[in-house]
């Protein structure tokens, strides 16, 4: 803190601290705390609602009796007695109606009850979709890593920085187009009558139902999130000292041994960041699986969350589902850090 004020001065350091606090508390902590709180309660009928219902029925029966008593009182010949009885019945009727109103409001007003039952709403069918989403996201991350690693290594080791910059720019340019348009483009490419199946037909192969089989989701997701794997790998591989590679080659190491013993250990922070970002984006994707399957295949878990929030209007269960997905993503982050033996400091570089 003192170093911050010495480096930037009191006014600028105060602004930095204020903006950092707004970022951490307002954009990170507050939404998650609200989601956690929302997932831990639900509205239930008040305790003793069955007894209240019996009381209400009894009061309505009493109103029926009062109606009969009023008919009898109205036939009374003694006017003074008639007025007295009618006034007493009217007073009793008003009191009963007031009591009924109070009891009905109490019966119909749900009570906020804190419970973990929202997490138990995930039945076997939804658990299967949840597991499928996690496994598919892992597969997307693995495919993206296999595709992007050689590209990032080749670009990072180019002799001319201008060529490397041009290649990276070429990778970025398509992402200037809206994500939905790019997904729809892949839907047209992988359609049953699209260019991909037309090419397979020219090569003598039968058409492949990319969209119906779910393969289109993997292709579109790898394409949609490939930059989040390429850039971390490129950034870390660019710092690799070429002398280490040459020394390993001079010592007789094969290409595979060089990558296994020299390049991949150096690239571990980039691999961790790329896998974490790709996995989390894939697991949290909504548009890609919905568009690529045209909403006809088994839903992605994010679609279940959307349905709970906006179709079933059950925000508590939706929050519990979302929190479950967040928990798995958090576990994945620490698992990658453990497997690749990197720290948060390494990832943040």
Return the pLDDT at 165.
Answer: 86
Return the pLDDT at 266.
Answer: 94
Sign of CA pseudo-dihedral 43, 48, 53, 59? negative
* Long-range pairs for 31-35: beta carbons < 8 A, 24 or more residues apart: 32/326, 35/319, 35/322, 35/323, 35/326
Return the pLDDT at 198.
Answer: 93
> 44 — phi, psi (to 5°)?
-130, 160
Distance in angstroms between the alpha carbons of the first and the last residue of the chain = 21
Chunk the chain into consecutive blocks of 10 residues (it has 349) and report each block's average pLDDT, rounded to whole numbers: 80 88 91 93 80 84 84 74 80 86 80 89 92 95 95 89 87 87 92 91 90 86 92 94 90 92 94 96 93 80 92 91 96 94 82
Return the pLDDT at 83.
Answer: 81
* C-alpha neighbours within 13 Å on the C-beta side of residue 185: 11
Would you list the domain boundaries of the chain?
A: 1-39, 46-109, 118-348
Return the pLDDT at 257.
Answer: 94
- For residue 66, what are the contacts with CB-CB under 8 A and spacing of at least 6? 89, 92, 93, 96
Sign of CA pseudo-dihedral 306, 311, 316, 321? negative
Identify the burial level of 76 via C-beta atoms within 10 angstroms of its C-beta, where 0-12 means exposed, 13-18 middle and 19 or more buried: middle
* Cα separation, 194 vs 184, whole angstroms: 12
Beta strands in 57-138 (DSSP E): 111-114
Return the pLDDT at 57.
Answer: 86
Q: Could you tell me which of 60, 88, 91, 56 has the C-alpha nearest to residue 72?
A: 88
Return the pLDDT at 75.
Answer: 75
Q: Could you tell me which of 203, 195, 268, 120 has the C-alpha nearest to residue 259?
A: 268
* Cα separation, 80 vs 86, whole angstroms: 10
Return the pLDDT at 30.
Answer: 93
Return the pLDDT at 60.
Answer: 86
What are 112's strand-pairing partners? 43
Which CATH class for the 118-348 domain?
A: mainly alpha
Return the pLDDT at 232.
Answer: 95
């Amino acid at each position: 803190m003192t170093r911050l004020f010495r480096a930037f001065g009191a006014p600028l350091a105060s602004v930095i601290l204020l903006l950092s606090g707004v970022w951490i508390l307002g954009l990170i902590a507050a939404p998650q705390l609200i989601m956690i709180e929302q997932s831990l309660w639900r509205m239930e009928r008040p305790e003793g609602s069955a007894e209240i219902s019996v009381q209400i029925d009894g009061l309505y029966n009493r109103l029926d009796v009062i109606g009969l008593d009023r008919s009898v009182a109205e036939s009374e010949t003694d006017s003074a007695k008639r007025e007295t009885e009618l006034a007493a019945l009217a007073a009793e009727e008003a009191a009963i109606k007031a009591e009924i109103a109070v009891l009905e409001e109490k019966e119909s007003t749900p009570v906020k009850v804190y419970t973990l039952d929202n997490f138990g709403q995930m039945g076997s069918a939804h658990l299967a979709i949840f597991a499928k989403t996690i496994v598919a996201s892992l597969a997307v991350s693995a495919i993206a890593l296999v595709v992007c690693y050689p590209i990032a290594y080749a670009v990072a080791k180019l002799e001319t920085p201008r060529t490397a910059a041009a290649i990276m720019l070429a990778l970025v340019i398509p992402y200037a187009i809206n994500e939905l348009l790019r997904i729809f483009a892949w839907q047209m490419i992988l359609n049953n009558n699209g260019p991909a199946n037309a090419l397979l037909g020219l090569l003598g192969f039968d058409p492949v139902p990319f969209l119906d089989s779910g393969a289109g989701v993997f292709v579109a997701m790898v394409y949609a999130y490939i930059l989040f794997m390429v850039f971390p790998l490129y950034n870390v591989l660019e710092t690799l000292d070429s002398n280490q590679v040459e020394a390993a080659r001079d010592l007789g190491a094969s290409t595979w041994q060089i990558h296994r013993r020299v390049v991949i250990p150096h690239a571990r922070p980039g691999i961790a960041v790329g896998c974490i970002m790709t996995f989390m984006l894939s697991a949290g994707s909504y548009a890609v699986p919905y568009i690529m399957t045209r909403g006809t295949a088994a839903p992605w878990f994010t679609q279940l969350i959307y349905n709970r929030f906006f179709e079933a209007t059950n925000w508590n269960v939706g929050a519990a589902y979302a929190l479950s997905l967040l928990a798995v993503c958090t576990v994945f982050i620490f698992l990658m850090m453990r497997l690749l033996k990197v720290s948060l400091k390494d990832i943040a570089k």
